A and B are shown apart, each in its own frame.
Chain A
Amino acid sequence: MNKNMQKKSPFAHLTEEQILELEKEFDRIHEEVYNDLGERDRRYIKSVISAQRQLAVAGRVLLLASLSRTSWIAGTACLGTAKILENMEIGHNVMHGQWDWMNDPDIHSSTWDWDTASTAHAWKHSHNYIHHTYTNILGVDKDLGYEIMRIDPKQTWHPRYLLQPLYNLALMALFEWGVAVHDMDIDAIRRREKPLSDVWEDLKGISGKARAQIIKDYVGWPLVSALAVGAAQTASQGRMVKPRSEPIRQLLPGSAKRRTLSRLIGAADAVLPVAKRAFVSTLAANATANLIRNVWTHAIIFCGHFPDQTYTFTQEETENESRGEWYLRQLVGAANIEGTPLFHVMSGNLGYQVEHHLYPDMPSTRYAEIAPKVKEICERYELPYNTGRFGHQWGTVHRTIFRLAFPGGKPRSKPGPYKRTEDEKPPARLSEASRYRARMPASSA
């Protein structure tokens, strides 16, 4: 592939008729899946939701004994996993309207809220509308670099980008807060395009979500742990947990003369330090669970559009775009991550980012099933199908973040048209979801 070829649009070779034909083919896949949705799909999402809630309960219960190291680790792992599922396979996909067809008010894009810092309303606007409509259009799709990073050589360099490897680390740890602030569209506020009343609404929304997370993870459950451990300690007359000496008795010298008071102080002496430790260790566990979730979602989401393979577009290129061209932009603007079925559930099936961008409202469980059809279209129309292993995708994303912190930079070589490999027999591997659906007989009810 020569240098000129690399810069050329990956679908310059297609005629108008071919693009129209392609549009119909992509539409047909959507229609086929929608005609087939039913009880088995419902059972899948219900079972994921139920598993997530059970994991959350298990995590909270284990953390009542957060003073035990084993319990702390197991509880944090359960809670972190529950939070990842809640964000990725459930929250993200429900709020895309993927499950609205069930007409169930409990699992519906209009009513769903999630356990992160951005409000459902703001996120649906910036993500479902702006990002999914104007995917990878420079200057319009604000998800390209999230307004703080340069991830495409076509973005003009500025000295502030020198620090972007550092921002990125901070963003990784605090990803949910980054997303919340990003939803506010700082750029529009700076340009005074956004009315202050809207900004105020956003701030109210974010502070409300922040309050909810603080009350739940950093006050409420730590307090429940402290009370539980305190009660256990009282019931066992101080034998439950050996307190590290922090005797209240010593703080009140001389007052311990009277018997009742002395006994009370003795009890407080046995209970309070232990309860305090339980509070802190549960708080730390909850913070860790949030951190795990943030790092994981950051990784999956950055791998969706920023690996070397993806194409970006200018506003001129996408003017008067047809629906077929829209499909094509979604196809080459996103990149997949290969992985096991479990990996796909934990990433909200965003390992199928290409399929998700073609059909954002399609139940995520169906992406693995339609992937062979999408690949087949790519093969026939000589189009790229961006995919790679997790480590590889993550590596190229971060290489770009480092490289483009400095001036210059060229687009890396893009993959050519998709070619089926010898060992690839479609469907390559059944998704966890489809295997699940195959195991569950369609209920007669």
Chain B
Amino acid sequence: MAERGAEPEVHPVRRRALRAVRHLFSPLLPDDYLELINPLWTTKELRGRVEKIEWQGSQAVTVSIMPGFNWPGHKPGQYIRLGVLINGRFHWRAYSLTSDPEPEDGLISLSPKVVESGTVSPYLVHRITPGTIVRLGEIEGVFTLPDPLPEKMLFISAGSGITPIISMLRSLDHRQEVNDVVIVHSAHKADEVMFGDVLKDLDDRYPGFRLHLRITEHDSLFTVDQLDDVCPDWREREAFCSGPGEMTDSFLDHFEENGLSDHIHYERFQPVIGGQGKGGAGGKVHLTHSKVTAECDGDTPILEVGEEAGVKMPYGCRIGVCHTCVGTLLSGQIRDLRSGEVGGSKGDTIRTCVNTAEGDIAIGL
């Protein structure tokens, strides 16, 4: 099945009214006719209208979107799947939300950086126009500000790694809680810095806000060795790290070596997929609708096991973000290939692309 947006929060009266008359339209829904008038009116999925596109440095843009229904709000640092139509096909990508979680103008925003060889980011950066209708997926992600807020915070980011952090900073600003914040942000060139003006503004307004901008074209890359110089009290701080994999890994290791691994929160741009050498038990995968049973070695995603057995499995992004490949777990335990975590109970909706069998399992697919 193709990917679909999130189910919007719709007023119960509206939902009931639509439900009451749906038999007059079967097998379609009243929504299928309402969306002929305005595509945002459908209650089947959350959609939004692009309101404005602004350059964010020379390599990225901020796309502001008005959601069709009340925006449920996100936690600063979370990401959302965005579905856009490019040459007749829907493409989905996950982007961090860069807007304040409680926006005064009701607009939410994402800030994609262009990857010229890609499909979606060049479209968003160069071609999308105000008025375009987009599909909005679930809000996801655990890279968020803790509650209660830590006294002292340190943000380390590079490139477009700033995107989840900018939402955190905007939220702190909104709540007037920018007390003791250090941010070290690296970009390749001066004109590529994203949210330079926002960071500068925060720096001007809050004495407790210290900004260290590094242009790696001239300055050296920010490494763990420089942490003591730039932020001597880093051990007392709650750290948030978002950037390329190697950078995140080196800071994670550094915090771990200092016995502070629970002081660092991080987000990677690319989800880590694969067994990571932590091979599990494996087992038989029984796909009940297809009436197929296949052997799984405990390192291969259930999706691939099914496909190799000749089953037309539903799939989407194949990296655990789009929720297209889901099936219902009917029995057994699964292991998340990203974290190695074992879990799952009967009736759970599981993603076959990032989970493997831990013992024999049955899935309603």
Contact = CB atoms under 8 A, between A and B. Distances in A.
Interface of A: 37-43, 50, 53-54, 57, 100-106, 108, 110-111, 113-115, 212, 215-216, 220-221, 224, 444-445
Nearest to B27: A113
A113 B28 CA distance: 8
A102 B1 contact: no
Interface in B76-102: 85, 87-91
Classify chain B's interface size.
20 to 34
A40 B127 contact: no
Contact of A110 (B33, B89, B90, B314): B314
B36 interface: yes
Given A103-B89, A104-B90, A444-B127, A50 B24 contact: no
Contact of A108 (B2, B33, B44, B127): B2
B24 A39 contact: no
Interface of B: 1-4, 23-28, 32-33, 36, 44-45, 85, 87-91, 127-129, 132, 314
A110 B1 CA distance: 6
A68 to B, nearest CB: 22
Given A50-B36, A53-B32, A102-B89, A108 B1 contact: yes
A41 B89 CA distance: 10
B88 A224 contact: no
A106 B135 CA distance: 12
Contact of A100 (B2, B27, B87): B2
B85 A445 contact: yes
A220 B24 contact: yes
A110 B91 CA distance: 18
A110 B365 CA distance: 13
Contacts of A114: 27
B23 A39 contact: no
Contact of B88 (A39, A50, A444): A39
22 contacts: A37-B88, A41-B88, A42-B85, A43-B88, A53-B33, A53-B36, A54-B36, A102-B89, A103-B89, A103-B91, A104-B90, A105-B1, A105-B45, A108-B1, A110-B1, A113-B27, A115-B26, A115-B27, A212-B27, A215-B23, A216-B26, A221-B24
Contacts of A42: 85, 88-89
A289 B210 CA distance: 73
Contacts of B91: 103
B3 A105 contact: yes
A103 B90 contact: yes
Given A101-B89, A212-B23, A212-B27, 5 more contacts: A53-B33, A101-B88, A103-B90, A114-B27, A445-B132
Nearest to A56: B33
Contacts of B85: 42, 445
Contacts of B45: 105
A309 B24 CA distance: 43
A445 B88 contact: no
Nearest to B84: A445
Tell me which of B2, B45, B88 has the highest count of chain A C-beta atoms within 10 A of its own C-beta: B88
A215 B90 contact: no
A229 to B, nearest CB: 17
A89 to B, nearest CB: 16
A430 to B, nearest CB: 20
Contacts of B23: 212, 215-216, 220
Contacts of A110: 1-2, 314
